[in-house]
């Protein structure tokens, strides 16, 4: 199938492309940009007038509670590649499970799924998982998801082992002992509402120790979902001194603060918690500077999991379909240029994951998102494809709507 | 954001917290309680204000004392009172909190008095009632986690007003485990709403929540500093499980540093009153000589508590 996408504003952050350029697709790949290759006859023409044509979005963390619905939600949100953390049920610690996930998702032909394998067996934090076998089955990195490695010696060994084969490790930096039974940022709101607090030092202690262990082992480290100004400052300093460390900030932490908990609103329960407005400003600055990428932290939670007192409610929110509009909102509020903003959800996460995605050079896979940056839509249960309908942005109007998503040159969403 | 305990006219429809409660509403409750105080001294201790109404005491966490005070208050208003010890019945069978509520609403409950171990649980119930269109059913928070115990906060305000009148001239010291105390939070918000001159929080760092200063509170780690020239001293109960561990080394050392002894009390104003939400740990947070002394108003607090709870229930039923 030969397809051409015409009249759109093509933005390819990685290759510094930004202009009204037509895109020509053949055999699932980008065949040419600007002018058609000799003898190119399009079987399908997509008119992108008034829209933006950019690489399909790459998401660093998507929980797939139901693979069909969530991958449909992904492409509806313009996401064409996503990393799935290993805290599935059962956890991704067996090559067979990874293989099945890869096959099932590939058969659907929607977004491409990149599994993150379990770092330790059963995510128990004690015995190393078979990383080499898991990598052969398709894992692109290893993590503990939200489970701690209680014994630092085990973490050191896990990093050494991963570094042996050049695998990347992702950690969510939160010291489980300092976080204890906390459910909200240890600050004004938690004090007022009588919620057990998670202090900022739960993050900084974990960031510091992870950075030290990564330095000692030379492993490539990604710190997932930073929440605090002090935590991001440590990563910023480590990057400046040449450490191989990356990090991301979720769309929720980019926009919300502890104040959004209001009167115990369980849709604002996140792990790590939403913190103070000064923390949010530091996270925004880090994303603007390229210190951090943006993730959807997509975590579908059903209604029963949220209709509970705040501390008992499940943390997390649906995010795949909000990744683009909330990135655009941040860019708009901070006057960040669109190509820079799009880099944070395309080429940057692709580089972090070490996958070939998030760019549209000739020869690249034709994974493409076409969106209308001005089109406004209301976030509602009906509008969302995801099984997770819970989000603090429910009933809000957001700008930025995906018109068409292509994976490997095939239209998988829209027209 | 709409305060879920007030209706569009600004009237009280639930009592969930003293946080965000306007001064006029607090004053209305305290004035109403004053008028009820006399009823409890009559031979026939009943008024018909809640006749025909059903008040459900829903205690997801055990508390015989608090439940009893609500039961007495409701009965003096002629309500039918149904006590449900939910901690041992439906939730143990897997029923969710909101399923329980729906069932009781179907039994024509008019008011829920809710005690729950989780902060915010009464808000969840109030929001659910609004969602299902039952604004006529009222919720009274009888203590949720560490968050709030508003009737206790209001009876504390009633007690202070009874003995001291003008809040703007007062220095109030709250001493002890403020971190885990719903009573302290309810007191802090009510004292702020009533324009209290100075409010001090006294305790070791391990027992004080962070960002207290942002709630307009002066934080004192030294008991003598905290008590000096105070008009009102509110002592908090120290739970047994917090006495020996990472929060405090021992009850003995706590008493040594933060226990209210006659010598410490002498630092406050000569007419200072000593309050305690009960039950007391004699020799842990308070010396018996102080607890039984002339400045203690701990038993009057209990009496006032009935009148305040009658006031809250009658106002809710009227709105």
pLDDT tens sequence across A211-237: 999 999 999 999 999 999 999 999 999
Asked, colleague to colleague, whether B23-148+304-318 and B150-302 share their fold, the answer is: yes
B-chain residues near A310 (CB < 8 A): 118-120
Euclidean distance between CA atoms B96 and B100, whole angstroms = 6
To which H or E segment does residue B100 belong? helix B97-106
* pLDDT for residue B91: 61
* pLDDT for residue B154: 98
| Beta pairing class for A44-47 and A292-295 | unpaired
To test the contact with chain A by mutation, choose from B14, B91, B101, B119 the residue with the greatest count of A C-beta atoms within 10 A, namely B119
Chain B's closest residue to A195, CA to CA, is B119
Structure tokens at A291: 């210190």
In words, the CATH class of domain B23-148+304-318 is alpha beta
A264 at B interface, C-beta within 8 A:
yes
Residue B53 labeled ligand binder:
no
Euclidean distance between CA atoms B156 and B275, whole angstroms = 8
Phi-psi region of A392 (alpha: psi -120 to 50; beta: other; left: phi over 0): alpha
Structure tokens at B38: 């006399």
Euclidean distance between CA atoms B235 and B283, whole angstroms = 12
CA dihedral A320, A324, A327, A331 (to 10 degrees): 180
- Contacts of B171 by beta carbon, 8 Å cutoff, 6+ apart: B197, B198, B199, B200, B229, B230, B231, B232
Chain B, 145 to 164: residues with Cβ < 8 Å from chain A are 145-148
Which residue is listed with tokens 């799924």?
A113
- Contacts of A51 by beta carbon, 8 Å cutoff, 6+ apart: A8, A9, A370, A371, A372, A373, A403
* pLDDT for residue A320: 98
* pLDDT for residue A71: 98
For residue B93, what pLDDT band results from cuts at 50, 70 and 90?
Answer: low
Task: Pick B119's closest partner by Cβ from A187, A199, A311.
Answer: A311
A180 at B interface, C-beta within 8 A:
no
For residue B1, what pLDDT band results from cuts at 50, 70 and 90?
Answer: low
B-chain residues near A309 (CB < 8 A): 97, 116, 118-121, 124, 144-145
Euclidean distance between CA atoms B234 and A5, whole angstroms = 73
Q: Are B148 and B185 in contact (CB under 8 A)?
A: yes
The percent of residues above 70 in pLDDT, for chain A, comes to 100
Could you give phi then psi for residue B138, rounded to 5 degrees?
Answer: -105, 150
Euclidean distance between CA atoms A112 and B209, whole angstroms = 46
Could you say which DSSP state residue A56 is in?
P
Crossing angle of helices A323-334 and A277-289, in 10° steps, is 90
Mean pLDDT of chain B: 93
- For this structure, is A260 an active site residue? no
Nearest CA distance, B2 vs chain A (angstrom): 9
- Give A215: exposed, middle or buried? Use CB within 10 Å, 0-12, 13-18, 19+: middle
Crossing angle of helices A201-217 and A152-165, in 10° steps, is 50
- Give B30: exposed, middle or buried? Use CB within 10 Å, 0-12, 13-18, 19+: buried
**Inter-chain CB proximity B120 and A311 less than 8 Å:** yes
For residue A168, the Cα-to-chain-centroid distance in whole angstroms is: 16
What's the CATH number for B150-302?
3.40.50.1370
Structure tokens at A20: 């009204």
> Looking at chain A, how many residues does it have?
415
pLDDT tens per residue across span B181-225: 999 999 999 999 999 999 999 999 999 999 898 888 999 999 999
**Inter-chain CB proximity B19 and A312 less than 8 Å:** no
The structural domains of chain A, ordered by start, are 2-51+365-414 (2.30.40.10), 56-359 (3.20.20.140)
Structure tokens at A292: 């951090």
Could you give phi then psi for residue A143, rounded to 5 degrees?
Answer: -155, 170
Domains of chain B: which residue ranges? 23-148+304-318, 150-302
B174 at A interface, C-beta within 8 A:
no
Could you say which DSSP state residue B286 is in?
B
Task: Pick B118's closest partner by Cβ from A186, A190, A309.
Answer: A309
Q: Are A82 and A112 in contact (CB under 8 A)?
A: yes
Task: Pick A194's closest partner by Cβ from B3, B119, B211.
Answer: B119
A192 at B interface, C-beta within 8 A:
yes
Chain A's closest residue to B16, CA to CA, is A263
B219 at A interface, C-beta within 8 A:
no
Euclidean distance between CA atoms A111 and A124, whole angstroms = 30
- Give A29: exposed, middle or buried? Use CB within 10 Å, 0-12, 13-18, 19+: middle
Residues of chain A scoring pLDDT < 70: none
Could you give phi then psi for residue A236, rounded to 5 degrees?
Answer: -60, -45
Residue B185 labeled ligand binder:
no
**Inter-chain CB proximity A192 and B215 less than 8 Å:** yes
- Return the number of CB contacts < 8 Å for A and B: 73
The percent of residues above 90 in pLDDT, for chain B, comes to 82
Within 13 Å of residue B310, how many CA atoms lie on the same side as its CB? 28
3-class SS at A66? coil
For residue B90, what pLDDT band results from cuts at 50, 70 and 90?
Answer: low
Residue B67 labeled ligand binder:
no
Q: Are A247 and A236 in contact (CB under 8 A)?
A: no
Could you give phi then psi for residue B24, rounded to 5 degrees?
Answer: -65, -35
Q: Which of A297, A348, A364, A367 is catalytic?
A: A297
**Inter-chain CB proximity A194 and B211 less than 8 Å:** no
């Amino acid at each position: 199938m030969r397809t051409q996408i015409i009249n759109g504003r093509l933005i390819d952050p990685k290759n510094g492309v930004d202009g009204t350029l037509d895109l020509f697709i053949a055999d699932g790949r980008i065949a040419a940009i600007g002018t058609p290759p000799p003898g190119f006859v399009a079987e399908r023409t997509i008119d992108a007038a008034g829209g933006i044509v950019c690489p399909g979005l790459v998401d660093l963390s998507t929980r797939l509670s139901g693979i069909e619905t969530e991958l449909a939600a992904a492409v509806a949100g313009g996401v064409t590649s996503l990393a799935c953390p290993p805290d599935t049920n059962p956890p991704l610690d067996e090559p067979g499970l990874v293989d099945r996930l890869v096959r099932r998702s590939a058969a659907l032909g929607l977004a491409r799924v990149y599994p993150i394998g379990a770092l330790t067996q059963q995510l128990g934090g004690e015995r190393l998982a078979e990383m080499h076998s898991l990598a052969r089955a398709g894992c692109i990195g290893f993590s503990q998801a939200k489970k701690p490695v209680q014994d630092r010696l085990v973490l050191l060994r896990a990093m050494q082992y991963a570094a042996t084969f050049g695998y990347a490790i992702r950690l969510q930096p939160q010291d489980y002992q300092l976080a204890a039974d906390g459910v909200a940022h240890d600050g004004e709101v938690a004090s007022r509402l009588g919620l057990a607090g998670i202090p900022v030092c739960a993050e900084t202690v974990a960031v510091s120790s992870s950075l030290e262990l990564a330095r000692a082992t030379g492993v490539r480290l990604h710190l997932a979902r930073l929440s605090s100004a002090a935590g991001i400052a440590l990563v910023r300093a480590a990057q400046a001194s040449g450490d191989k460390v990356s990090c991301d900030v979720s769309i929720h932490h980019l926009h919300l603060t502890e104040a959004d908990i209001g009167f115990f609103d369980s849709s604002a329960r996140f792990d790590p918690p939403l913190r103070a407005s000064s923390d949010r400003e530091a996270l925004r600055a880090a994303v603007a500077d390229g210190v951090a990428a943006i993730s959807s932290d997509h975590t579908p939670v059903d209604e029963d999991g949220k209709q509970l007192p705040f501390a008992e409610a499940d943390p997390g929110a649906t995010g795949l379909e909000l990744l683009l509009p909330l990135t655009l909102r941040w860019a708009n509020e901070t006057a960040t240029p669109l190509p820079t903003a799009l880099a944070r959800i395309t080429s940057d996460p692709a580089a972090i994951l070490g996958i070939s995605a998030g760019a549209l050079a000739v020869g690249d896979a034709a994974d493409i998102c076409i969106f209308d940056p001005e089109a406004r839509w209301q976030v509602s249960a009906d509008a969302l494809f995801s099984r997770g309908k819970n989000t603090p942005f429910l009933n809000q109007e957001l700008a930025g709507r995906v018109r068409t998503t292509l994976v490997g040159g095939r239209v998988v969403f829209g027209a | 954001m709409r305060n879920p305990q007030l209706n569009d006219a600004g009237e009280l429809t639930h009592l969930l917290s003293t946080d965000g409660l306007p001064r006029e509403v607090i004053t209305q409750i305290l004035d109403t309680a004053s008028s009820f105080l006399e009823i409890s001294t009559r031979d026939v201790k009943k008024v018909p204000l809640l006749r025909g109404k059903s008040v459900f005491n829903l205690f997801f966490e055990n508390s015989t004392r608090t439940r009893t005070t609500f039961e007495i208050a409701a009965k003096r208003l002629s309500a039918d009172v149904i006590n449900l010890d939910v901690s041992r019945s439906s939730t143990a069978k897997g029923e969710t909190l909101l399923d329980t509520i729906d069932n009781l609403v179907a039994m024509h409950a008019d008011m829920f008095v809710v005690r729950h171990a989780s902060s915010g649980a009464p808000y969840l119930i109030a929001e659910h009632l609004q969602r299902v269109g039952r604004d006529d059913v009222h919720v009274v928070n009888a203590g949720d986690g560490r968050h709030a115990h508003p009737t206790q906060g209001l009876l504390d305000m009633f007690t202070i007003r009874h003995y001291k009148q003008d809040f703007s001239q007062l220095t109030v010291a709250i001493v002890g485990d403020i971190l885990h105390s719903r009573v302290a939070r309810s007191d802090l918000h009510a004292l702020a709403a009533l324009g209290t001159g100075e409010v001090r929080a006294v305790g070791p760092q391990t027992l004080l929540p962070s960002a207290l200063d942002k709630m307009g509170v002066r934080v004192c780690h030294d008991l003598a500093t905290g008590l000096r020239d105070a008009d009102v001293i509110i002592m908090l109960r120290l739970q047994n499980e917090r006495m020996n561990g990472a929060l405090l080394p021992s009850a003995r050392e706590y008493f040594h540093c933060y226990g209210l002894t006659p010598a410490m009390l002498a630092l406050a104003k000569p007419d200072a009153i000593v309050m305690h939400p009960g039950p007391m740990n004699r020799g842990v947070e308070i010396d018996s000589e102080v607890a039984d002394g002339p400045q203690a108003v701990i038993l009057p607090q209990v009496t006032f508590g009935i009148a305040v709870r009658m006031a809250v229930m009658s106002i809710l039923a009227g709105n």
